[in-house]
Amino acid sequence: MNPAHNTRAAPKSVTTLPPMGASPALLGLYHIRVTVEQRNASSEPSVVDARRLLFGRDDTPGIVSVSASRDGRARVWRRVLDPDGGPDRVVLEEDRFPGWLLLADASVLAPLKPATLDRHDLEAGVPEVPSGLAVIELQGPGIYRYLVLTSRMAEVEAKVLAAYRKRGGGVPARGLSDLRGVAYARPLVEQYLAITGRTYFKGMAFEQARRLQFDLETTGLNPDHDTIFMVSISDSTGYRALIDVAEYDERGLIERLVEIVQERDPDIL
């Protein structure tokens, strides 16, 4: 081929650096040079920060738990250091986000009059969706051509299910997971983490995450006849406890276990 007629530019290599103070094990996860093959409409190579692609683009540290709802509300628990040198503590923060799903055909949402966004809006962060519903047409040959952003997930899911029940001659579909090849959705917490670029335990060393484990001993495996007679508990701070039927009945054992979990406030159970 005549090089003069080859208008495809050579893929660029992007050098990525690990975070400061990273352990040797973490360093081994990095590809020092990353060849970026995906191209935009102008045939220019797309520049991808491989470190952020792997670890998330949002640098919020200390996230240990997240809950999310279908109306776009999230609750985020973070473990933070005491600026005065005291024990670290967990704080609760609230956030808003657009839930998302992927569709093969976005025309089923036309009656809801979604806004149209450009896919490049995603590069700037979490897009604003004032109407509560927007559609982004994605690049590439994949089946799922449309990204739907919404804080009206219940309404959107109902509309998609109704449309495909009608198209399928009344074939029952209990949820989006039954519409394989038509729609694709993830659990709400995963949606929140993916759209915001947040990740768990960022900036935390292994020993900073508070871990608690417990072991139940039972008289057998039949839930109708057998009972719990002992619970052993330990956590990453060195705490140890053993509770048994010498002090409590089965109900009391469970209640005391719940109390200890609440008192120790673990990040990982």
Residue 41 lies in domain: 9-55
Q: Are residues 48 and 31 in the same domain?
A: yes
- 215 and 244: one domain? yes
Q: Which helix (H) or strand (E) holds 196?
A: helix 188-196
Residue 164's H or E segment, with its range, is: helix 153-167
- pLDDT given for residue 190 in this prediction: 96
Claim to verify: residue 217 and residue 201 sit in the same structural domain: no
Residue 60 burial by Cβ neighbours in a 10 Å radius (0-12, 13-18, 19+): middle
Q: Write out pLDDT tens, residues 86-136.
A: 778 889 999 999 999 999 999 999 999 999 999 888 887 888 898 999 999
The amino acid at residue 22 is: A
**Same-domain pairing of 44 and 86:** no
Distance CA 64, CA 76 (A): 8
Choose between 68 and 45: higher pLDDT. Answer: 68
How does pLDDT run across 186-235, given as a tens digit for each residue?
999 999 999 999 999 999 989 889 999 999 999 999 989 999 999 999 99
The pLDDT > 70 percentage for the chain reads 81
190 and 66 within one domain: yes
Per-position DSSP letters for 97-126, written without gaps between them: --EEEEES-GGGGGGG--EEE-GGGGGGSS
| Count of structural domains within the chain | 3
Average pLDDT over all residues of the chain: 83
Closest CA to 68 of 255, 195, 231: 195
Q: Are strands 115-117 and 133-137 parallel, antiparallel or unpaired?
A: parallel
Q: What's the pLDDT tens digit per position in 236-253?
A: 999 999 999 999 999 999
Residue 3 falls within a domain, yes or no? no
- CB of 11 within 8 A of CB of 37? yes
Residue 216 lies in a domain: yes
